[in-house]
């Protein structure tokens, strides 16, 4: 039995696969003060559905895969450890100077961003290594010990170390690490050459600082999660989701917690690709994940999930860069819990503020007084107040109506239904804009893609979104309320290794490159024989970080060969680079020299066969629903709308809108004029 849990801002999702291959899915409100309690709540609900105890359920578990926003929330809210940065003498302003780039070049009212580590907690180490790896000035041990004494006096809780050219020669940085262990025991530290051996100092320093600052918090969280799961009866392997669309052992993640940032959203495209290929034979898909707090959208292009090196915490250039490539996901503050409000100028807004899990939307009856997308959907008749979460949580239509009337309808001079419809329409426009950023703005026609809806609130306006984009097919998987958690069940155990070694096509260093690839492969093999020993399938992928001469940035180029033996091998990788460059930037320069800055290897281990079973019907969510009810649609008004249950729809029996398809954990609205059919796989396929 395998468990996957995704802790979001509003709900905690649990998906698990039993020994027969059936999928079970549950939700419980997230508990912000103690996220682990929300995880245990979902397990209790799941156990109750099977008429066993949570201990008996967990005892059957082989794997427990977890994704959490705990790390990114700590960074965004500033609740990280007091962290110091140690860098090379003369380069203490590394985090202050940053990199060039402005969102608004002529807006001089925007203050210069503050460094992630204050200048007062940045210390300069007397040492210097040249770009060729030669020692120009030995590290001054006595000076480092003196710095460490200052760290003690300041009660520093974590330390980041980023020295110049430590990626070429790490001896000085490693020596500083040894001195920290000796003179500052029990205080976690991060060495940049171990964590992220890349070329650019700012990005390397930023990643080291972020990683070090969340080590105490994440070590405590992961240790607590592991021990509480064991106390609750779990005896299997605990894995954590990463931002690269894979999983790591929780001990490894505790040693490099920066990989947890953005981990939850990275799973939705994994599941979305699976369903797009299975239900529509489509290689290009727009994958959406509509939660209670955010709307995450990603793209699958020809079966490949794009990665981005530009992962920022906060706004680009104004926030802090993570420094690692991650799954390219666009997130905006729009979800079921997004609050609708009218500004002083009389304009309606939806989000980015969210009601969260506490107090939640007004209809939850938990002292929430501001209207949300969920309240609007309830008033419009899309959500059955008696069937929310399968009837385990009752919603109050009157509270929702009062909130919309007070905050939106009266200020705008609209009646209640018009106001509720306006809230949902504006949320739709915000979501469409997010999708256009990753499609039209990148030269991709969204009409050529299928839309895969994910998240508990996905079905409320997915038809409207597809119509606005011109998409012809929508896929709503059975596991739509917990798409990210379902993606975790089919994700791979992985490890990435990098090596800096410069060469070019004009003077290719065969021995140097092959030595770098040998070293990378040895590290991958160690991983495959260690954490990946029990995998069902293993693989190693090699990449070159390449660019044309005089270009600033590199692109990751997949290698068809594992070693370079002849000039023909170099010519082939050159040809591959030209093709990839043209695909990304619409041009290539065949006469230019190609420079290879670094090399990368990824070890992947499949922990499952890669298929998701069908959703089981769990008795805890049994409830009666009426065959139809009144629902409001723009242009049609209040109309009789057919109600169907997700798991009782006959396969391949088409249904025309207006209709509403309900499951215990989600609602899918089929607008007038749209058609839907349920496939044998269990997914809904909608023609909008």
Chain segment 512-550, per-residue pLDDT in tens: 999 999 999 999 999 999 999 988 899 999 999 999 998
Query: In percent, how much of the chain has pLDDT > 90?
Result: 64
Can you give the pTM of this predicted structure? 0.86
Domains of the chain: 2-74+220-260 (3.30.420.40), 81-218 (3.40.50), 265-334+437-480 (3.30.420.40), 492-606 (3.30.1490)
Query: In percent, how much of the chain has pLDDT > 70?
Result: 98
Chain segment 311-345, per-residue pLDDT in tens: 888 788 888 999 888 888 888 888 888 899 999 99
Helix (H, G, I), strand (E, B) or coil at 687: strand
Mean pLDDT of 669-686: 93
| 557 touches 580 (CB < 8 A) | yes
User: In whole angstroms, what is the distance from residue 521 CA to residue 562 CA?
Assistant: 9
User: In whole angstroms, what is the distance from residue 478 CA to residue 319 CA?
Assistant: 37
User: In whole angstroms, what is the distance from residue 195 CA to residue 209 CA?
Assistant: 11
User: In whole angstroms, what is the distance from residue 31 CA to residue 11 CA?
Assistant: 8
Over 50: is that where the pLDDT of 620 sits? no
Helix (H, G, I), strand (E, B) or coil at 119: helix
Chain segment 136-149, per-residue pLDDT in tens: 999 999 999 999 99
What number of other Cβ atoms are within 10 A of residue 249's Cβ?
15
Q: What is the pLDDT of residue 619?
A: 56
Kindly list the strands in the beta sheet with 23-29, ordered across the sheet, starting from the edge strand earlier in the chain.
23-29, 11-17, 2-7, 63-67, 237-241, 246-249, 492-504, 594-606, 537-548, 555-558
Q: What is the pLDDT of residue 78?
A: 83
User: In whole angstroms, what is the distance from residue 61 CA to residue 14 CA?
Assistant: 13
Element (H, E) at 512: helix 510-529
Q: What is the pLDDT of residue 203?
A: 94
- Residue of 263, 376, 387, 280 whose CA lies nearest to 327: 263
User: In whole angstroms, what is the distance from residue 268 CA to residue 280 CA?
Assistant: 17
Residue of higher predicted confidence among 534 and 623? 534
Among the ranges 9-18, 26-35, 139-148, 360-369, which has the highest mean pLDDT value?
A: 139-148
Provide the Cα torsion 339, 344, 347, 350; round to 10°: -10
User: In whole angstroms, what is the distance from residue 655 CA to residue 632 CA?
Assistant: 19
Over 80: is that where the pLDDT of 390 sits? no
| 453 touches 461 (CB < 8 A) | no
């Amino acid at each position: 039995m395998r468990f996957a849990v995704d802790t979001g801002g509003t709900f905690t999702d649990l998906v698990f696969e039993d020994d027969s291959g059936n999928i079970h899915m549950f939700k419980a409100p997230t508990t912000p003060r103690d996220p682990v309690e929300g995880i245990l709540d979902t397990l209790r609900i799941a156990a109750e559905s099977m008429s066993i105890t949570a201990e008996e359920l967990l005892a059957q578990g082989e794997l427990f895969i977890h994704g959490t926003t705990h790390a990114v929330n700590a960074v965004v809210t500033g609740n990280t450890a007091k962290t110091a940065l140690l860098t090379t003498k003369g380069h203490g302003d590394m985090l202050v100077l940053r990199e060039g780039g402005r969102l608004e070049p002529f807006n001089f009212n925007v203050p210069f961003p503050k460094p992630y580590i204050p200048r007062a907690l940045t210390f300069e180490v007397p040492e210097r290594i040249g770009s060729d790896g030669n020692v120009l000035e030995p590290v001054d041990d006595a000076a480092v010990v003196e710095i460490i004494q200052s760290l003690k006096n300041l009660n520093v809780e974590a330390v980041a170390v980023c020295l110049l050219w430590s990626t070429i020669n790490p001896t000085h940085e490693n020596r500083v690490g040894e001195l920290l262990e000796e003179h500052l025991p029990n205080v976690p530290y991060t060495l940049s050459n171990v964590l992220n051996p890349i070329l650019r100092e700012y990005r390397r320093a930023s990643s080291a600082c972020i990683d070090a600052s969340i080590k105490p918090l994440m070590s405590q969280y992961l240790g607590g999660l592991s021990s509480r799961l064991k106390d609750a009866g779990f005896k299997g392997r605990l894995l954590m989701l990463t931002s690269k669309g894979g999983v790591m052992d929780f001990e490894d993640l505790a040693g490099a917690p920066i990989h947890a940032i953005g981990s939850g959203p990275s799973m939705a495209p994994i599941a979305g690709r699976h369903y797009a290929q299975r239900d529509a034979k489509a290689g290009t898909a727009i994958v959406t994940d509509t939660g209670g707090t955010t709307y995450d959208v990603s793209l699958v292009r020809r079966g490949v999930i794009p990665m981005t090196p530009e992962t920022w915490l906060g706004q680009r250039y104004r926030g802090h860069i993570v420094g690692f490539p991650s799954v390219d996901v666009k997130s905006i503050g729009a979800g079921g819990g997004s609050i609708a409000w009218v500004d002083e100028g009389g304009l309606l807004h939806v989000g980015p503020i969210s009601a969260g899990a506490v107090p939640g939307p007004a209809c939850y009856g938990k002292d929430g007084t501001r209207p949300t997308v969920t309240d609007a959907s309830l008033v419009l008749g899309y959500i059955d107040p008696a069937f929310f979460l399968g009837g385990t949580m009752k919603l109050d239509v009157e509270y929702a109506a009062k909130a919309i009337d007070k905050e939106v309808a009266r200020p705008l001079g609209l009646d209640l239904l018009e106001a509720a419809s306006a809230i949902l329409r504006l949320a739709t426009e915000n979501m469409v804009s997010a999708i256009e950023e990753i499609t039209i703005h990148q030269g991709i026609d969204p009409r050529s893609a299928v839309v895969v809806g994910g998240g508990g609130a996905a079905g409320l306006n997915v038809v409207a979104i597809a119509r606005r984009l011109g998409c012809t097919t929508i896929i709503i998987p059975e596991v739509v309320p917990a798409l990210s958690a379902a993606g975790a069940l089919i994700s791979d155990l992985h490890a990435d290794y990098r090596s800096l070694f410069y060469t070019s096509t004009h003077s290719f260093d065969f021995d140097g490159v092959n030595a770098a690839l040998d070293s990378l492969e040895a590290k991958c093999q160690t991983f495959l024989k260690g954490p990946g020993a029990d995998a069902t399938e293993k693989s190693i992928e090699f990449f070159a970080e390449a660019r044309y001469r005089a270009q600033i940035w590199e692109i990751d180029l997949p290698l068809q060969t594992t070693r370079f033996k002849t000039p023909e091998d170099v010519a082939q990788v050159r040809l591959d680079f030209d093709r990839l460059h043209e695909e990304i930037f619409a041009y290539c320069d065949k006469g230019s020299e190609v420079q290879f800055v670094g090399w990368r290897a990824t070890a992947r281990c499949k922990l499952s066969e890669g298929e998701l079973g069908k959703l089981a019907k769990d008795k805890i969510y049994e409830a009666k629903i009426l065959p139809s009810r009144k629902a409001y649609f723009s242009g049609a008004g209040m109309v009789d709308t057919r109600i169907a249950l997700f798991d009782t729809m006959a396969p391949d029996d088409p249904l025309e809108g207006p209709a509403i398809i309900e499951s215990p954990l989600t609602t899918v609205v089929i607008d007038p004029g749209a058609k839907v059919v349920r496939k044998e796989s269990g997914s809904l396929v909608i023609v909008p």
